[in-house]
């Protein structure tokens, strides 16, 4: 079981700004938690972040045949990126959309996800735990794919 975690723009700032929304945990802390859970469940975890839309597109394309499941926090690109949506469809690797915050309790522009219709499911609003829950969900998705 190989899971690719991808993180979009500004998530490298986690733990440094807006702790009231995103918490005090850094992305490196989250990566450590995810890897710990992955080890317990027998999954190999690859964890990446980019502020560049095209780099995320490239990583999704390259995941085909290398990873069983993608877990994607596309950050602001969630609400804007047809390119990410097309890449998810083209790669054909089952993808789980995740968010730290409950986007539906925030500004209206965050309520719409362009990637949701092509994802296996969403995990939203559980802070850093959204990532840990996604490891479990990935097994579920693999079985049902």
Count CA atoms closer than 13 A to 7's CA, side-chain side: 18
Helix axes 53-62, 82-91, angle to 10 degrees: 10
Point out the catalytic residue in the list 22, 77, 104, 111. Answer: 22
Examine the residue annotation and report whether 22 is marked as an active-site residue of this protein.
yes
The residue ranges that bind ligand CA2 (CB under 6 A) are 10-11, 13-14, 17-18, 22, 73, 75-76, 78, 99-101, 103, 110
Least distance in Å: CB of 143 to ligand CA2?
26
Burial track 3-37 (b if 16+ CB lie within 10 A, e otherwise): bbbbbbbebeebbeeeeeebbebbbeebbeebbeb
Examine the residue annotation and report whether 99 is marked as an active-site residue of this protein.
yes
Least distance in Å: CB of 22 to ligand CA2?
5
Residue (50 or 73) nearer to ligand CA2, CB: 73
Helix axes 27-41, 129-144, angle to 10 degrees: 40
Residue (67 or 99) nearer to ligand CA2, CB: 99
Residue (1 or 10) nearer to ligand CA2, CB: 10
Least distance in Å: CB of 144 to ligand CA2?
24
Could you give the residue numbers annotated as active site?
22, 99
């Amino acid at each position: 079981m190989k899971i690719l975690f991808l993180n979009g723009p500004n998530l490298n700032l986690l733990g440094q700004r807006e702790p009231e929304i995103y918490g005090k945990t850094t992305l490196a802390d989250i990566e450590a938690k995810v890897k710990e859970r992955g080890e317990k469940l027998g999954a190999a975890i690859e964890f990446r972040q980019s502020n560049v839309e095209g780099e995320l597109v490239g990583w999704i394309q390259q995941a085909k045949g290398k990873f069983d499941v993608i877990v994607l926090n596309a950050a602001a690109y969630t609400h804007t990126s047809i390119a990410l949506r097309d890449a998810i469809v083209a790669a054909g690797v089952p993808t789980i959309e995740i968010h730290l915050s409950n986007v539906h309790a925030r500004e209206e522009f965050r309520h719409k996800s362009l990637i949701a219709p092509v994802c296996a499911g969403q995990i939203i609003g559980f802070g850093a735990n959204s990532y840990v829950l996604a490891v479990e969900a990935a097994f579920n998705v693999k079985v049902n794919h």
